[in-house]
Amino acid sequence: MVAENILRIKQEIGQNVDLVVVSKYRTIEEIKQVYDAGMLHLAENRVQALLERKEALPDNIKWHLIGHLQTNKVKYIAPFIHLIQSVDSFKLLEEINKQGLKNNRVINCLLQVYIATEDSKFGLSEEELYELINHPQISEFKNINITGLMGMASNTDNIAQVEKEFKQLRHYFDHIQTLNLFPHFQTVSMGMSGDYLLAIQCGSNMIRVGSKVFE
């Protein structure tokens, strides 16, 4: 089933949108099916789970972190992480840069923006986002590569609301691109199992899908 689900989703989204499979809460056996179907981009929301899974699965998997990251845990993932999608503070960026330097790596990061109406979600407000990208020290961080934005829409049946939030994130992305602050700024990560088609219509080019892959 997993292989068929992946094939179907890939056909739906086309070549210009990247699919990242969210493997959180799944067993190693289930995740192996994803790997065997040829998917190498996997995402976890917790550092501990990510480390356990990395240990148990093949080395060529490209791991993404999509959950809140505490600065004291950056060191555990810095040696191998492919993309940290959940950067939400200057302090965190500073630590990622420091650990990147220690590991002789440039670590790819997305800035997580808070676009939902619920207050339980992490992410930068509009004001914090612009404050962060304009921080004078950011250009000195040689061991991070800010490649785009990530956001989660409200968990609601109100499609108009979700659409508004996705369009807002895309708007931030387009605006930041015009500022030419980051040479590799190209990713808009938005859309999950319930809303990825809408997200793509609103300008997403990376979706993070869990339940729809494993159902």
Ligand X SMILES: *Cc1c(COP(=O)(O)O)cnc(C)c1O
- List all residues 6 or more positions away from 126 whose beta carbon is below 8 Å from its beta carbon: 113, 172
The single residue listed with the structure tokens 């499609």 is 159
Candidate segments 3-11, 91-99, 101-109, 203-211, binder of ligand X by CB under 6 A = 203-211
Q: Does 209 bind ligand X (CB under 6 A)?
A: yes
Candidate segments 135-143, 163-171, 175-183, 204-212, binder of ligand X by CB under 6 A = 204-212
- Structure token pair of residue 53: 């899974």
User: CB atoms < 10 A from the CB of 89, how many?
Assistant: 16
Residue nearest to ligand X (CB): 210
- Alpha-carbon Rg of the chain, whole angstroms? 17
Q: Which is nearer to ligand X, 102 or 122 (CB)?
A: 122
Q: Does 107 bind ligand X (CB under 6 A)?
A: no
- Structure token pair of residue 85: 């999608």
Q: Which is nearer to ligand X, 83 or 141 (CB)?
A: 83
Query: Cα separation of 102 and 100, whole Å?
Result: 5
Q: Which is nearer to ligand X, 27 or 137 (CB)?
A: 27
Binding site for ligand X (CB under 6 A): 22, 24, 45, 66-67, 152, 192-194, 208-212
